[in-house]
């Protein structure tokens, strides 16, 4: 049996080119393909899922980028932080009598000149970042996958790449006057006309430096290029796993002192000169949206109804110990951890349960607050803590904001992935004056608490983006800034909390929380009627209490 003439893992571009040549040979016209899939996508899906090749694909992150070879298949897990619009590129061109393609590539395999017959295609650009607040145990659960390629495998990859790179590489993305382009290419109202050797760009006047994260951090962003998938499949703040071709030549450099138009525009050619440890690129062949259970390793338990009940009771017991034997607080804490937005009816987010634990002070927060922080980090994949003070509110940017100078969405602290747990510590909040920024931040926080929506600032207007964040407030008294769904006094009777937990039990608790949250939500008619009756009774009680307070009567008189 003759083996395949390419390696989908080590030489995926070989698979792309071969399938393209076969499609053209079978009668497909590159002029009518318009970048649509010609069979390469199906080939990769077969390799990844039918042939179990996904387990062989290394994860791209701050550690693996040091040894992952360019032009190989990688995986990247991240949150879509910004959507940069569309990029136009030379997708197909004629090399003599042979049609060739640049799809899934940054550079052309063969030289192109003014006489070449070209086809301009487009792809979407997503700026993705590591998931905010991702805890270390999520990374460690994928350690085996990251190390699945041995040094010998790396050597063979380099040899395969060398055989595919024996032709001089030239920069793609040039539009020529003679190129058949019947109309101006527009993105967001900007005309992109093919004039001379002017490079095709996605959006004008974008600063490349704004794409580069702080070199001192371990955060590795990734510019993901999307082909062949509906735009509705991908939304801002969604968490995805992208499988695609990692392309970069770390030997390329650029003199930043050159006063060239290239340095003032955001385009593919500019990104080539960024160090690979800053903004790698990934040409996506397959992607999938991730949910909570995708970050877990299955517990070594037979998950029967009886075992699941035992897991729940053990988790409740652990929360009770962490909360100083306050069983009531532990029960509501568990309900809080299981809450999520199931549906939206008008401005109401159905299913959310924000919790305000009161009666904390500086002494108790240092003990129980720290214990809660550690427990949340050990149980949930994404957690964040926010210290609420006047100075903090007056200085930070909670909501994302559009920067029109760089044409980038600047990340705010509240740009979080679905399912993130946010703990807000109010115990250090002192009397002070909020400036305009502080008032705006307080309003944004309150709006998120009320409706699970975050207002993104586009300078000339605000846009509400749906969120699904679990909010826990720790305060001395009932929070006046953040009205929670449930306010509960915290009454510990002990300071001994059993934080040491068996690893398998932790896996079982994580599995329980993630699985129960992911179950479909439905209410039987009789239960719905009971809930409606309770809500009517509660509203009547509130009106009665308000009338008593108005008449100056004491509560309960």
Closest CA to 459 of 414, 523, 407, 420: 407
CATH, residue 334 = 3.40.50.300
The answer to whether residue 187 sits within a structural domain is: no
In terms of domains, do 341 and 266 share one?
A: no
pLDDT at position 2, please? 45
The answer to whether residue 31 sits within a structural domain is: yes
User: What is the 8-class DSSP label of residue 297?
Assistant: -
Report yes or no: 386 and 413 within 8 Å, Cβ to Cβ.
Answer: yes
In terms of domains, do 454 and 315 share one?
A: yes
Closest CA to 353 of 364, 343, 341: 341
CATH, residue 16 = 2.40.50.140
In terms of domains, do 473 and 537 share one?
A: no
Closest CA to 185 of 171, 200, 172: 200
What domain range is 244 assigned to? 12-137+216-252+261-289
- Residues 6 or more apart whose Cβ sits within 8 Å of residue 412: 397, 398, 399, 400, 401, 454, 456
What is the rounded distance in angstroms from the CA atom of residue 41 to the CA atom of residue 97? 26
pLDDT at position 447, please? 94
Report yes or no: 352 and 449 within 8 Å, Cβ to Cβ.
Answer: no
Closest CA to 58 of 282, 248, 233: 282
What's the whole-model pTM score? 0.78
In terms of domains, do 227 and 348 share one?
A: no
In terms of domains, do 277 and 422 share one?
A: no
Report yes or no: 107 and 191 within 8 Å, Cβ to Cβ.
Answer: no
In terms of domains, do 346 and 478 share one?
A: yes
Report yes or no: 246 and 224 within 8 Å, Cβ to Cβ.
Answer: no
Report yes or no: 58 and 245 within 8 Å, Cβ to Cβ.
Answer: no
The answer to whether residue 164 sits within a structural domain is: no
How do strand 421-425 and strand 470-474 relate by DSSP bridges? parallel
- Residues 6 or more apart whose Cβ sits within 8 Å of residue 500: none
The answer to whether residue 432 sits within a structural domain is: yes
In terms of domains, do 273 and 388 share one?
A: no
284: which strand partners? 244
In terms of domains, do 459 and 526 share one?
A: no
In terms of domains, do 471 and 530 share one?
A: no
What is the rounded distance in angstroms from the CA atom of residue 206 to the CA atom of residue 494? 57
> What is the chain's pLDDT, residue by residue, as a tens digit (557 residues)?
444 556 889 999 999 999 998 888 888 888 778 878 888 989 999 999 998 899 999 999 888 888 899 999 999 999 999 998 888 888 888 887 888 899 998 877 777 766 678 888 999 999 999 999 999 998 766 553 344 333 334 444 444 444 333 323 233 333 323 333 333 333 333 323 222 222 333 333 333 333 344 433 457 889 999 998 887 789 999 999 999 999 865 554 444 444 443 333 334 443 443 444 568 899 999 999 998 888 887 776 777 888 899 999 999 999 999 999 999 999 999 999 999 999 888 888 989 999 999 999 888 898 999 999 999 999 999 999 999 999 999 999 999 999 888 888 999 999 999 999 999 999 988 888 999 999 999 999 999 999 999 999 998 889 999 999 999 999 999 998 899 999 999 999 888 766 678 888 899 999 999 999 988 877 788 887 887 788 788 777 766 655 544 344 333 33
What is the rounded distance in angstroms from the CA atom of residue 12 to the CA atom of residue 43? 10
The angle, 0 to 180 degrees and rounded to 10, between the axes of the packed helices 503-518 and 327-338 is: 60
Beta strands in 179-238 (DSSP E): 185-187, 190-192, 222-226
What is the rounded distance in angstroms from the CA atom of residue 26 to the CA atom of residue 498? 68
In terms of domains, do 474 and 403 share one?
A: yes
The answer to whether residue 184 sits within a structural domain is: no
Beta strands in 47-200 (DSSP E): 72-95, 98-101, 118-129, 185-187, 190-192
- Residues 6 or more apart whose Cβ sits within 8 Å of residue 241: 75, 76, 77, 287, 288, 290, 294
How many Å is the Cα radius of gyration of the chain?
Answer: 28
pLDDT at position 146, please? 42
The answer to whether residue 7 sits within a structural domain is: no
Report the number of secondary-structure helices (H) and strands (E) in the chain.
15, 19
The answer to whether residue 181 sits within a structural domain is: no
Alpha helices in 221-304 (DSSP H): 268-272
Closest CA to 132 of 399, 419, 394, 374: 419
What is the rounded distance in angstroms from the CA atom of residue 242 to the CA atom of residue 77? 6
In terms of domains, do 320 and 455 share one?
A: yes
Residue 434, sorted as left (phi over 0), alpha (psi -120 to 50) or beta, turns out to be beta
Report yes or no: 186 and 201 within 8 Å, Cβ to Cβ.
Answer: no
End-to-end CA distance of the chain: 91
The answer to whether residue 49 sits within a structural domain is: yes
pLDDT at position 544, please? 66
Tally the domains of the chain.
3
In terms of domains, do 338 and 425 share one?
A: yes
Closest CA to 277 of 194, 215, 332, 337: 215
């Amino acid at each position: 049996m003759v083996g395949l003439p390419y390696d989908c893992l080590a030489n995926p571009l070989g698979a792309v080119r071969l399938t393209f040549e076969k499609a053209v040979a079978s009668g497909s016209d590159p002029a009518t393909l318009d970048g649509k899939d010609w069979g390469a996508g199906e080939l990769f899906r077969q390799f990844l899922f039918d042939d179990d090749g996904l387990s062989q694909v290394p994860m791209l992150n701050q550690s693996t980028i040091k040894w992952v070879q360019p032009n190989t298949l990688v995986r990247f897990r991240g949150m879509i932080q910004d959507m940069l619009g569309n990029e136009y590129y030379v997708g197909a061109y004629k090399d003599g009598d042979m049609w060739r393609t640049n799809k899934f590539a940054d550079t052309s395999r063969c030289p192109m000149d003014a006489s070449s017959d070209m086809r301009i295609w487009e792809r979407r650009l997503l700026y993705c970042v590591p998931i905010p607040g991702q805890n270390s145990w999520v990374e460690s659960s994928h350690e085996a996958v990251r190390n699945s390629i041995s040094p010998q495998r790396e050597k063979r990859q380099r040899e395969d790449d060398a055989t595919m790179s024996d032709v001089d590489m030239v920069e793609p993305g040039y539009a020529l006057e003679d190129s058949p382009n019947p109309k101006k290419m527009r993105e967001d109202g900007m005309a992109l006309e093919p004039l001379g050797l002017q490079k095709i760009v996605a959006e004008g006047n974008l600063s490349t430096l704004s794409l580069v994260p702080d070199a001192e951090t371990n955060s590795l962003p990734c510019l993901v290029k999307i082909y062949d998938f509906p735009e509705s499949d991908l939304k801002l703040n969604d968490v995805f796993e992208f499988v695609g071709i990692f392309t970069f030549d770390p030997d390329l450099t650029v003199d930043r002192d050159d006063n060239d138009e290239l340095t003032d525009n955001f385009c593919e050619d500019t990104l080539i000169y960024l160090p690979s440890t800053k903004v790698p690129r990934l040409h996506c062949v397959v992607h999938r949206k991730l949910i909570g259970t995708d970050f877990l390793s299955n517990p070594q338990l037979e998950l029967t109804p009886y075992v699941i009940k035992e897991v729940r009771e053990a988790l409740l017991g652990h929360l009770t110990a962490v909360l100083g034997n306050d069983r009531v607080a532990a029960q509501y804490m568990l309900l809080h951890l299981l809450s999520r937005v199931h549906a939206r009816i008008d401005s109401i987010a159905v299913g959310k349960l924000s919790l305000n634990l009161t009666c904390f002070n500086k002494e108790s927060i240092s003990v129980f607050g720290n214990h809660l922080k550690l427990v949340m980090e050990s149980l949930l994949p994404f957690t964040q803590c926010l210290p609420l003070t006047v100075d903090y509110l007056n200085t930070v940017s909670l909501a994302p904001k559009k920067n029109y100078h760089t044409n980038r969405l600047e990340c705010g602290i509240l740009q979080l992935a679905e399912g993130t747990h946010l703990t807000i510590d109010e115990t250090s909040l002192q009397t002070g004056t909020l400036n305009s920024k502080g008032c705006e931040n307080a309003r944004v926080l309150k709006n998120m608490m009320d409706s699970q929506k975050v207002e993104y600032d586009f300078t000339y207007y605000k846009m509400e983006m749906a969120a699904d964040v679990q909010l826990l407030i720790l305060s001395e008294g009932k929070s006046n800034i953040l009205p929670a769904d449930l306010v509960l006094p915290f009454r510990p009777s002990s300071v001994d909390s059993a934080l040491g937990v068996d690893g398998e039990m932790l896996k079982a608790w994580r599995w329980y929380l993630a699985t129960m949250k992911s179950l479909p939500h439905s209410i039987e008619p009789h239960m719905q009627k009971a809930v409606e009756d309770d809500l009517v009774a509660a509203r009547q009680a509130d009106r009665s209490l308000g009338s008593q307070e108005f008449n100056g009567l004491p509560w309960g008189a």
